[in-house]
Each structure stands twice: as C-alpha cells, then as structure tokens.
Amino acid sequence: MTGPPSEGSAPVPPREGLSSAEAARRLAADGPNRLPEGKRSPAALLLFRELVHFFALMLWAATGLALLAGMPQLAVAIAVVVLLNGGFAFAQEYRADRASKRLRELLPSDATVRRDGRRAVVSAAALVRGDVVLLEAGDRISADLELTEAHSLAVNQSTLTGESVPVRPRERETLFAGTFVVEGQAEAVVTATGARTRLAAIATLTGMASRPPSPLARQLSKVIKVIAVSALGVGVVFFGLTLLLGMSPSDGFLLALGVTVALVPEGLLPTVTLSLARAARQMARCKALVRHLEAVETLGAATFICTDKTGTITRNEMTVVLIWTPDGPLDLAAPATAAEIMRSAVLCSTGRLVRTDGGVKSVGDPTEVAMHALALRAGVGEDTAVTRRYPFDPVRRRSSAVTGGRLHLKGAPDAVLPLCGDVPEAARALEEMSASGLRVLAVARRDNPGTGTAEQVEQGLTLLGLVGLEDPPRDGVADAIITCREAGIRLAMITGDHPGTARAIADKVGLLGREPLVITGRELPADDAALGELLDHDGVVVARVTPQDKLRIARALRGRGHVVAMTGDGVNDGPALREADIGVAMGASGTDVAREAADLVLLDDHFATIVTAIELGRATYANIRRFLTYHLTDNVAELTPFLVWALSGGTLPLALSVLQVLALDIGTDLLPALALGAEPANPRTMHGPARTGALIERRLLLRVFGVLGATEAVVEMAAFFTVLSLGGWALGAEPSAALLATASGAAFAAVVLGQLANAFACRSETRWAGRVPLLGNRLLLWAVMIEAIMLLVFVGFPPLARLLGGAFPSAPGWVMAALAIPAVVGADAVHKAWRARRKS
C-alpha cells in the first residue's frame, strides 16, 4: 500500500515545519483531521422505525379496526403489544450500537510534529497538509504522509492490506492513515487529512454498499402478508355472510371487523423479537456482539463463509516455529538448544517484549519480537552492550550489530547466504521452509569484523542457521472448520496476504478443499457470473485481494443463492462486510470501519466463536418454527367457532368472543411461545445443511391444520356443545346468556389446555412429547404453570370473565376441556410415528 504521493500533494516544507499561524489557516480551510462519520439516525427515528414496519402497521390497522368495531379494550391491548415490542427491539439494537461505538479506537489522539522549528505534540485532529510529522516505533499514522527521511523504518499495514509482514518504505513513498510504525524513526509530510485520506475512501466505499434484507426478514414478510391477506379475506367473506343472514350492514361490519382482528396473531411479533433478543444475549455471553437482531437467524442460515486470514484464522503475531542449522534442525521443545542462534538474532534486532504494569507488550517488528520471545525462553540475557549497529535498509535487506569484537547479523536469506560461502544444505532447507509458507530469516556472525561501512564488515560470515517464522493459526480453528463442513457450510479464505503464506495456513487448519484452488485477486474474472462459478466451491483461497475484490466476491456468491457470511478485521474488509448477508468483524483487534459495517462483532476475535454463533442461529430458526407452529395451531382453534357459525347460517351460537381470542393470543399463549423460543439446540443442529427454506411449508401446514389445530378445534367444539346440550339447549334455539357464557368458558378452557399440550408437542418435529426430556426446558414448565393460572383467572374472576364473554365452566365442561391434553399429545404422536414409517 506504500506508493508515490498523489498529485497535488503539499510541497515539502523546510525542516522547521509550518508556522503555527499557517497551520491554523490550513486547519480552518480544510477542516479537522477526522474520518467522516456515517449519518447516524437519531434515537427517536430508530424507535419510530420499529413501530412502522409491515407487521407493526398491520397491528396498528387492527387497533383502528377494533376502535371502529366498538372494542376499545381490544384496541388498547393491541397498541400496548406494538409499543412494548417496538421499545424492546429498539433498546436491544441501540444497546448493541452503543457497545460498538465504545470500540472506536482507529486513529490516535495525538501526533508529534515540528512547528515553528520546534518539536511539539498536537491533537491528531489538528494535523494539516504540509505538517512535518515525526514518527517512531509504536506510533499510529494519523494522516496520509510522504516520507522525507527514514531510518530502519518498518510499517504494519495489515489493517489496510491484510498483509501481516511489515513493509519497509523508502523516501518519497506514501504512508497511509490507519497503519502503524513497528520499527525505526522517520520524518514525513502530511499530504492528505480526514475525508481525503485513503482510509476515508475505503470507509466511503463501505457506506455505499447496501445491506441486503436478512433471510428471516424475507420469510417473515411472506408469512405476515399471507396472514394479512387471509385475515382480510375471511373478514370480507364474513361480512357477506352476515348480509345474507339478514344482519344489518352495521352489525355485520362490526362482526367482520372483529373476526379480522381475531385472526391477526398479535403475539407473534413480540415472540419473534424476544426470541431473537434472547439468542443475542446468549451470543454476547459467548463473546459475539449482535448489532442487528435479525443477524441472529441470518448467521444460522449461512451457507458460505468468506474468512480473512490475518487476525481471524491466525493470531496476527509472529512465532518462531522452525530453526535449521548446519548440524540439523533444532528441537524447539527444548528452547535452550536455540540459545546461540537467538543470541545473535536478538543482538542485531530492536524489537522486544517489554514488561509493563498492564502485562507484556510487544514493541517493534513482530518478527524480531518473536525471536526475542524465544530468546527469553532459551535463557538468553542482554548483558552485552552493542558498540556499533548497522540498521536494516531495503537495499541490503539485513541488519547487524557489533558487540564484544563479534558481528551478529540477520536478514533475508538471499541477502545473507552469498556472504557465508558455499552452504548447499542451507539452500535446500530454505526451499523446503519457503514452500511450507514460512517467513525465513538467515542468522550469521563474524569474529573480529574490524571497522568500516556495513558492506565492508558484513563479509566472510559464518552461517548459524535459518529461522522459520509464521503467524500461527488460532487454537480451535481447525475444529471449527470441521464443524462448519459437517454443517454443510462452504469456506473460502479471502486475504491480502501472499498466496504461498495463505495456502500454507489454509492447509495447516484444513481449509483447503479436495481440489485446492489458490488464486490471486488479479486472476479473478471480470464478469461477476464467472467469478461466482469459479469460487462456488469449498476450500478456496483468494490472496492479494483489494477491497473491491472482496465486495465483488460477496456479491457474486450471493448471486448464486448463497447466504454469505464475511469475516474480517481490517479497514479493507468494511465494504464486503456491508455487502454480505452477514458481516462478522473482530472486536478486540478490528478497526472501527469494519465494526461499523458488521452485523456481528466477535469480542474475542476467535474464529471458533463463529461456530457457536452459527449453532445458536440455527437453534433460533428452529425455535421460530416451533412457536410459529404453536401460534398457528391456536389460530385454527380460534377461527373454528366463526366458521361453524358461518356454515350453520347463524343457527349455531359462537363458541368464542373476539376478546376471548385476544386473551388467548397475548394472555395465555405468549409465555409458552417465548419459552419455546428458548428451547436448547438439538445435538444434531450442526449436522447437515441449514434449513433456509420457507418458514411455512407443506409439512408445517399439514401438522397445523391436519393434526394439532384440527384436534384442538374438535375438542373445543365438543366441550362447547356438550355444555349447551346438558344445559337444555336444542338445535335452532337461542341459549340463555348464562348457559352460553358457561359453554364459552368450556371452549376457552379446551383451547388453553390444548395449547398447554401443544407447547410440549412443538418441542420436537420428530419425537413425540414423551421422548423429549421434561427438564430440558425449565422455562417451558414455568410458562405452562402460569398459563394454567391465567386460565383460572380468565374464567374464574367474574368481572374479567364477563368482560371477555365467558364464565367458569361446569364440571362436564372441565372434563371435556381436559380431554384436549391427551388428544393433542396422542394425535401428534401418531402423526410423527406415521411420518417416521414413511421415511424408513
């Protein structure tokens, strides 16, 4: 990413730098050196959006219809449901957004400059074009700079390029904001600040990428539209029937409105929201921060994961993994064997592990820090003073130091081995180490080097050995990849690193597919369709990619029907994270741009955490199907009395009132539905591909309408007519108000008890309720106990019972209602056994 300065950059000022007056003038003209923040919606607007999406609008319409129908209690209850649900969803996402904002630490707060001929520390926001910036190891670069002077300078650009090895820029090359100095000192001139930096350009590209709707949003939209159309259609039919039966248009209209409102599952929206929120809290406990609730389910639906390498698959810290010497490789399990070679390597290095009050801190080039770490383990001290040092430069590609009459040297093997005479074994070892993806340094020394230039003293060397380093994989990554494959999820490594290094790491963690494909960004097809076809395989490695490449990859794979999860931690990952179905950013080491673009932030930066999040996402999808089945079964039982009344031409009385239907939806049903949303993941959740089809499909509809709902409806109507018949009612007669209320109470009790059994039946789509561990979901046990108490309150508290239109059932009514429990459990067991036999 280093390169020549852009056209129109500020001319190089004199060494004394800008004057304070000129800096102030330029600051006023160009503005502060800050990244442009994306437009953030005010909290009030975020809350408003939660109250006006399609389902919420449908419930608001139901509220208005309830008012028109003369049922203010119903209207208030529905409005409260919408407000509470919207408030809860807003609070969850606002809290996640605030947590993400607290991670904002991309640019440093201060910078060292030379102004008015003096060294000064100023706010990074006060940097202007033409400022002379003084850099040293550990500094983050806070603006785009043109190098004017460099001494052993090494810059880590992994946040922009994904390349884990520091670069060695030369004078007149450009350093970019967001990178940081790991070694050396330098002077540079600011060429661009704020919105004009390369970093800001990538951030802008991120903002331009639109976030696609989640699979859950698409599925729920379909479900809601079907429910809305069905409710309106039934309402229209009922209005027509009332006119045919001789009702006045006003009374018929009110009844039709009541039926329409009754068919809207008011409890579905809060159940979905609370289920997603609960899963989000579980993910947070597993170090995964969900920034958008729908991302919970989207991750579970992922079919393709595009993962970065540096900091995601690997630790983003170099480690010595192999040392070859002319006497053979060393056993690093016994670090003392490496003492001699590490002593020389450390003496000609400046990178160190430094103890601070907060623990151990890395200072300098990561490769030198890695060798210092091994030297400490080998017992190597630093008791010898360096009398002369020859720093690294990009021409020699080596560094050396003289201590105690001996020269110690390390550098690129092709820059060191020719100085060591004929060592053919070293050439073979170098070839093998490089082929395995290691970064290799040669270490040598010379006695009595004399004095002179570096080129004069770095001659006649004795080779001590070759040191192989790598950015090692994180623990648990290989197991996580195996689990992903068992779950039918395809994997690709998308990195800015060298293809050889990327391939070696991919091979080490088991990511490479059976037919390995390693390709660079330059080799990618220009056509998106061809790109998707090329990459739509498991175990692909794409190296040397640009931000635009990652954006195209996400778009191409989505175009082939994949639900794409894109992981990353660098600024370069931001656009692709936004384009993917779900962006997964690193929270500890990631950049602010990546976190802002992501749907999910891994707080521990651990790739294996993704597996846990996927499992929770899949479990959430399964739980949504569970409580959707539960809600729809109840709707069948709620609609049946109205159908019976309509088909009888009004000769049979209504078994349930509209307010009783509402009491079922948000009174007795809500807690069991929420408990079903907390059902633990099945042990086989990660076996086989994710279920990404329609939430409502033929098998679910058959179970709802043909088994569970039908059974509840039969028992409900049987209880209703049993009480009426025992009370002296005859077909065609008008029952007394007291008798009708008692019978209606029995029908209501039958539905509630049927739903109690239905809650246990819905815990599994394949096993009958008796085979599912009763204590596996303790929340459900509490929920059904509360449901039973609510039933007694609704039918046993006279004022409330009268308001709803029912009364406490008679003894025969309770007996008939209680039959709903064995009837629902039995019907569900028979249906599951029949399905199992069909499969075998």
Where in the sequence numbering do the catalytic residues fall?
A: 308
State which amino acid sits at residue 728.
G
CA distances from 566 to 8, 336, 490, 580, 586 (A): 36, 42, 12, 6, 11
User: CB within 8 A of 495, min separation 6: which ones?
Assistant: 162, 308, 309, 310, 502, 541, 542, 543, 545
Backbone angles phi, psi at 500, to 5 degrees: -65, -45
3-state secondary structure of 243: helix
406-411 and 439-447 beta bridge pairing? antiparallel
**Do the Cβ atoms of 811 and 779 come closer than 8 Å?**
no
Nearest to 124 by CA among 134, 137, 136, 111: 111
Question: What's the DSSP call for residue 9?
Answer: P
Nearest to 604 by CA among 286, 216, 187, 388: 286
Q: Residue 693 and residue 315: Cα distance in Å, rounded?
A: 36
Question: What's the DSSP call for residue 126?
Answer: G
3-state secondary structure of 322: strand
Query: Concatenated DSSP letters for 94-108?
Result: HHHHHHHHTT---S-
What's the distance, Cα to Cα, between the start and end of the chain in Å?
A: 60
Neighbours of 208 (CB within 10 A): 11
State which amino acid sits at residue 608.
A
660-682 as b/e: b if 16+ CB within 10 A? bbbbbbbbbbbbbbbbbbbbebb
Helical (H) or strand (E) element with 818: helix 811-818
Helices (H), 51-197: 54-68, 72-101, 158-161
Q: Residues in the chain, how many?
A: 840
User: CB within 8 A of 671, min separation 6: which ones?
Assistant: 782, 783, 786, 787
Q: Residue 177 and residue 114: Cα distance in Å, rounded?
A: 19
User: CB within 8 A of 93, min separation 6: which ones?
Assistant: 46, 291, 292, 293
816-825 as b/e: b if 16+ CB within 10 A? bbbbbbebbb
Nearest to 162 by CA among 307, 318, 309: 309
3-state secondary structure of 466: strand
> In terms of C-beta density within 10 A (0-12 exposed, 13-18 middle, 19 or more buried), how is residue 286 classed?
middle
Q: Residue 281 and residue 276: Cα distance in Å, rounded?
A: 9
Q: Residue 790 and residue 213: Cα distance in Å, rounded?
A: 38
User: CB within 8 A of 80, min separation 6: which ones?
Assistant: none
Q: Residue 200 and residue 574: Cα distance in Å, rounded?
A: 11
304-307 and 564-568 beta bridge pairing? parallel
**Do the Cβ atoms of 267 and 670 come closer than 8 Å?**
yes
**Do the Cβ atoms of 173 and 3 come closer than 8 Å?**
yes
State which amino acid sits at residue 296.
V
State which amino acid sits at residue 78.
I
Residue 245: both structure tokens together = 């039966």
